[in-house]
Amino acid sequence: MAIFLFNTLTRRKEEFVPREEGRVAMYVCGPTTYNYIHLGNARPLVFFDTVRRYFAYRNYAVTFIQNFTDVDDKIINRAREEGEDPLALAGRYVREYFHDARELGVRPADLHPLVSDHMAEIVDMVGRLVKKGHAYEVEGDVLFSVRSFEDYGKLSGRSVDELLSGARVGIDPKKRDPLDFALWKAAKPGEPAWDSPWGQGRPGWHIECSAMSLKYLGEGFDIHGGGSDLIFPHHENEVAQSEAATGKAFARYWMHNGFITVNQEKMSKSLGNFFLVRDLLGRFPGDVLRFFLLSTHYRSPLDFDLEVTESCSRGLVRLKNSMGLLYEALDDRAPAGGPGDSGGELDSFRREFETAMDDDFNTAAAISVLFDLAHAVNTFLHEHRGCRFGPGEQAFLHGAGELFHCMNEVLGIFPVDESGRIIVRQSCADSDSEHLLALLLDVREKARGRKDWATADHVRNGLKDIGITLEDTPDGVRWKRRSPD
């Protein structure tokens, strides 16, 4: 089956046909690094990470580029406030970005280019646009002439005249047309600046993505993504300047995620209603946040709400419990790593999963398959309590585990350990605690043996207070501890 995705350019769901068979080249706009990322920034990170993983699952060789904007007004202003060098500040938040991204299960892109490392490419591209008559220089600024590019507005679906009628465009005497935008900005004193044929200056916001995506992915690369607030003007301008410069089609598919809202309003820095991922991680583990972000289709708005996030957390516990039971059964009663089952129910789960993901990356539907599989595993184990597993049953269990791992490899919801297993529970902080806990559990077991329920319950309640839950089973006690970090 082919993968279908919604292309902003055509406003339709289209079959994905790569530029080069078996390969996907994708570019996603990364953050401007002047602060920690907030949840709104996290949505495209998690989503496009999932897209990239799914292409890999479908055996595409993926080249995934995500830039950092490390030269920008906001960075300069912030640096001035903090008395720090702008590039140093930006570099610091790039490092912080990777910390948060890792917690969210987001893998590093193949390349994370920085604007500050690509001045030559940017200057070169601006020069080409000037030479071709698509841009003009005024007092050290270089502006792109919107009217010189016939298709301007094709991505956002608006004409130049429609955009003008919005009348929110400020009047700038330097601009020949109010919609013209800066490719290169003349340096002001005290700002980072680079040499160019138009004097010292720095790039406008949009040109960096054109220059870097074309450098690493080439003309007509497959997918360009980002938040829907980037459609206009950022991506529209990228299309204009790139296609004007090369004369070739820029990106073939444009994908845009919807916003995170708070009380139904867009989460944004200007409204001040944003939640930093860093702060949220103190309250929820990264896997819960990732699950929350993937629990709604990426193009729909997603309202952030603590209670909803809490319910996601409980759902995740259910899945982890199921995997924990499966691992126990595998270890105790089906240790041989024989071939997994590849028939019947498991196959249909896999098909459902693929159908969901093929249909414009419907992660919400894909996640439901995880629950269906967990339920099937639970029911199976319930029905085979205390039974010895035959070869067919062992194959089913191994197959279920493999399938779960495959789906998790795409969705990335559960952290896995070195052996590739989903981390179902936390271990003790140190070996002393481990021994103490074992001793305590032994004492409790002996108390239970003589029906001393008061002592047994006292131990259980006491452990619960420090976050350890006990579950008595016919085969002995099982303990769990789950808390953020």
Collect contacts of 336-342 with beta carbons under 8 A, ≥24 apart.
Answer: 336/394, 337/398, 338/391, 338/394, 338/395, 338/398, 339/395, 339/398, 340/395, 340/398, 340/399, 340/400, 340/401, 340/402, 340/403, 341/392, 341/395, 341/396, 341/398, 341/399, 341/400, 342/399
Is 398 a binder of RNA (CB under 7 A)?
A: no
Residue closer to RNA (CB basis): 225 or 412: 225
Is 176 a binder of RNA (CB under 7 A)?
A: no
- Give the DSSP H/E element, type plus range, for residue 306: helix 306-333
Q: Which of 326, 456, 463, 468 binds RNA (CB under 7 A)?
A: 456
Of 44-63, binders to RNA (CB under 7 A) are 44
Give the binding range for RNA (CB under 7 A) out of 210-218, 244-252, 314-322, 411-419: 314-322
Is 371 a binder of RNA (CB under 7 A)?
A: yes
Give the binding range for RNA (CB under 7 A) out of 97-105, 278-286, 310-318, 338-346: 310-318
In sequence order, the 6+-apart residues with CB closer than 8 A to the CB of 25 are: 19, 63, 217, 218, 221, 222, 223
Residue closer to RNA (CB basis): 156 or 200: 156
**Quick check: 161 and 154 in contact, CB under 8 A?**
no
Is 131 a binder of RNA (CB under 7 A)?
A: no
Give the interface size with RNA as a residue count (CB under 7 A). 85
- Give the DSSP H/E element, type plus range, for residue 115: none
Q: How far apart are CA 352 and CA 361, in angstroms?
A: 12
Q: How far is the CB of 80 from RNA (least distance, A)?
A: 16
Is 434 a binder of RNA (CB under 7 A)?
A: no
DSSP state of 425: S
Q: What is the number of other CB atoms lying within 10 angstroms of the CB of residue 388?
A: 9
Is 205 a binder of RNA (CB under 7 A)?
A: yes
Q: How far apart are CA 252 and CA 422, in angstroms?
A: 36
CA distances to 34, 84, 184 from 77, rounded to whole Å, are 9, 10, 18
Is 267 a binder of RNA (CB under 7 A)?
A: yes
Q: Which of 297, 341, 346, 396 binds RNA (CB under 7 A)?
A: 297
Give the binding range for RNA (CB under 7 A) out of 126-134, 241-249, 311-319, 387-395: 311-319
Q: How far is the CB of 193 from RNA (least distance, A)?
A: 20
Q: How far is CA 286 from the centre of its chain?
A: 11
Is 483 a binder of RNA (CB under 7 A)?
A: no
**Quick check: 16 and 252 in contact, CB under 8 A?**
no
Q: Which of 268, 278, 409, 440 binds RNA (CB under 7 A)?
A: 268
Residue closer to RNA (CB basis): 25 or 356: 356
Is 382 a binder of RNA (CB under 7 A)?
A: yes
Q: Residue 218: what residue type?
A: G
Is 162 a binder of RNA (CB under 7 A)?
A: yes
Q: What are phi and psi of 108, to 5 degrees?
A: -60, 145
Residue closer to RNA (CB basis): 19 or 237: 237
Of 346-365, binders to RNA (CB under 7 A) are 356, 359, 362, 364-365
Is 200 a binder of RNA (CB under 7 A)?
A: no
Q: How far is the CB of 149 from RNA (least distance, A)?
A: 17
Is 172 a binder of RNA (CB under 7 A)?
A: no
The interaxial angle of helices 363-383 and 306-333, nearest 10 deg, is 40
Site string for RNA, 221-260 (x = CB under 7 A): -----xxxxxxxxx----------------------xxxx
Is 448 a binder of RNA (CB under 7 A)?
A: yes
Q: Residue 295: what residue type?
A: S
DSSP state of 23: E
Is 481 a binder of RNA (CB under 7 A)?
A: no
Q: Which of 66, 322, 394, 408 binds RNA (CB under 7 A)?
A: 322
Is 399 a binder of RNA (CB under 7 A)?
A: no
Helical H segments across 86-146, by residue range: 86-103, 119-131
Q: How far is the CB of 359 from RNA (least distance, A)?
A: 6
- Single out the residue of 220, 439, 414 nearest to residue 324, CA to CA: 414
Q: How far apart are CA 150 and CA 146, in angstroms?
A: 8
Q: Provide DSSP, 354-399.
A: HHHHHBT--HHHHHHHHHHHHHHHHHHHHHTTTPPP-HHHHHHHHH
Is 305 a binder of RNA (CB under 7 A)?
A: yes
Give the binding range for RNA (CB under 7 A) out of 83-91, 126-134, 151-159, 193-201: 151-159
Is 270 a binder of RNA (CB under 7 A)?
A: yes
Largest CA distance in the chain: 92
Q: How far apart are CA 390 and CA 46, in angstroms?
A: 40
Give the binding range for RNA (CB under 7 A) out of 87-95, 114-122, 158-166, 212-220: 158-166
Q: How far is the CB of 32 from RNA (least distance, A)?
A: 5
Is 375 a binder of RNA (CB under 7 A)?
A: yes
Q: How far is the CB of 18 from RNA (least distance, A)?
A: 23
Of 15-34, binders to RNA (CB under 7 A) are 29, 31-32
Is 437 a binder of RNA (CB under 7 A)?
A: no
